[in-house]
């Protein structure tokens, strides 16, 4: 016997699960089931919190832009603070990297009209610690923004609850069974019934698929590491700087400067933690391009970014099981795509259709 019946059960209270539940709850009775004591304990609470429309690939760019209006003018009834703050993004090239910089500009300028090349001098005017004997040129895009992730996730949760939905924590989903036209979802804290299950379990999406007997969707969690170091003077308003070789980015992040070696180490789904070697690599790469000492590490963390092989999200009904919907593979873009993708995916569920986007589900087996 289940405790409660819902129209739709979303597994996972990260940005993806809360985002889709926000839109679904306008039209359906929804529950979000989260294993941890609090939402966003895993990847969604460990991101760099950036909103970058020209990111990863054209599909991701399109899904990010689909949430632009939501981010810029969020529903006032659920938040009284802005979700975005100015930051800017600089792509910096070192010796021998100007061709790569040009390729980057050629690829992204058609989609990002404000992305412009800048000289090495302008790079150093904007971020004076960049070494004069390293930086050879760059690009700057003022539309890269910082996301207030806490405010975003609180907005989703307020909306879900206000519309009659539930976000339940300490609910580790351990079994999934389809009987007739209903799923029975057994958790560590009781069982639930729902017509539709949404798999938004982040790094554990493959595990949840297996609970439903659905193997064969390739999703790889990859660890990414970050550290905060004491900041240079007057650096609060600097842009995020990333190297064209994708070996490093750094940006102001209270209480200091966040440095990240852009690592992608395959991992089992787990509570990720930083490896000493990755922190050392981040510090070393930072010292190669910047004139600023790494006196100490003030804070460090790691999180998992889960990718399908083509680095596009896996979204849609699984043709092998009635009422099982994937919302997985959000890689390094799951916060910024959460409203745009969440709204489209919710629409697909409510109309029982494919997702209106080039992402769709063509990679499903069977």
Ligand X SMILES: Cc1cc2nc3c(=O)[nH]c(=O)nc-3n(C[C@H](O)[C@H](O)[C@H](O)COP(=O)(O)OP(=O)(O)OC[C@H]3O[C@@H](n4cnc5c(N)ncnc54)[C@H](O)[C@@H]3O)c2cc1C
Sites of contact with ligand X (CB under 6 A): 11-17, 33-36, 40-44, 46-50, 171-173, 200-204, 208, 224, 226, 303, 305, 330-336
Residues 6+ apart with CB under 8 A from 169: 13, 34, 36, 37, 38, 39
Beta carbon nearer to ligand X, 97 or 338:
338
**C-alpha span between 344 and 338 (Å, rounded):** 10
**C-alpha span between 42 and 149 (Å, rounded):** 13
Q: Closest approach of Cβ 51 to ligand X, in Å?
A: 7
Beta carbon nearer to ligand X, 64 or 323:
64
Beta carbon nearer to ligand X, 36 or 62:
36
Beta carbon nearer to ligand X, 25 or 47:
47
242: helix, coil or strand? strand
Q: Closest approach of Cβ 103 to ligand X, in Å?
A: 23
Burial of 240 (0-12, 13-18, 19+ CB in 10 A): buried
For residue 197, give the nearest of 302, 317, 110, 112 by alpha carbon. 317
Tokens 């009635």 belong to residue: 322
Q: Closest approach of Cβ 225 to ligand X, in Å?
A: 7
Query: Cα–chain-centroid distance for residue 324?
Result: 22
Beta carbon nearer to ligand X, 34 or 318:
34
Cα torsion at 143, 149, 151, 154 (round to 10°)? 140
Beta carbon nearer to ligand X, 33 or 93:
33
Q: Closest approach of Cβ 53 to ligand X, in Å?
A: 11
Q: Closest approach of Cβ 332 to ligand X, in Å?
A: 5
Q: Closest approach of Cβ 262 to ligand X, in Å?
A: 9
């Amino acid at each position: 016997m289940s405790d409660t019946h819902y129209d739709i059960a979303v597994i996972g209270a990260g940005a993806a699960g809360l985002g889709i539940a926000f839109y679904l709850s306008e039209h359906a009775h929804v529950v979000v089931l989260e294993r941890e004591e609090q939402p966003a304990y895993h990847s969604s609470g460990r991101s760099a919190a950036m909103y970058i429309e020209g990111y990863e690939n054209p599909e991701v760019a399109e899904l990010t832009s689909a949430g632009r209006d939501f981010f810029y003018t969020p529903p006032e009834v659920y938040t009284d603070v802005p979700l975005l703050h100015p930051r800017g993004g600089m792509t910096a090239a070192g010796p021998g990297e100007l061709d790569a910089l040009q390729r980057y500009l050629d690829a992204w300028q058609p989609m990002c009209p404000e992305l412009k090349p800048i000289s090495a001098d302008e790079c150093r005017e904007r971020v004076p610690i960049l070494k004069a004997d390293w930086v050879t040129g760059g690009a700057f895009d003022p539309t890269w923004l910082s996301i207030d992730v806490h405010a975003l996730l609180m907005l989703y949760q307020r909306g879900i609850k206000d519309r009659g939905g539930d976000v339940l924590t300490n609910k580790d989903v351990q079994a999934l069974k389809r009987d007739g036209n209903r799923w029975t979802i057994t958790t560590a804290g009781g069982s639930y019934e729902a017509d539709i299950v949404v798999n938004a379990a982040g790094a554990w999406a493959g595990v949840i698929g297996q609970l439903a007997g659905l193997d064969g969707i390739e999703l790889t969690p990859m660890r990414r590491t970050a550290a905060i170091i004491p900041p240079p003077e007057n650096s609060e308003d600097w842009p995020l700087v990333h190297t064209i070789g994708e070996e490093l980015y750094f940006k102001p992040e209270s209480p200091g400067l966040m440095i990240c070696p852009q690592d992608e180490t395959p991992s089992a789904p787990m509570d990720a933690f930083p490896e000493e070697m990755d922190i050392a690599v981040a510090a070393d790469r930072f010292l190669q391009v910047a004139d600023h000492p790494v006196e100490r590490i003030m804070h460090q963390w790691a999180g998992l970014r889960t990718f399908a092989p083509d680095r596009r999200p896996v979204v849609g009904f699984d043709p092998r099981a009635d009422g099982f919907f994937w919302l997985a593979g959000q890689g390094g873009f799951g916060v910024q795509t959460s409203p745009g993708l969440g709204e489209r995916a919710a629409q697909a569920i409510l109309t029982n259709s494919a997702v209106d986007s080039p992402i769709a589900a063509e990679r499903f087996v069977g």
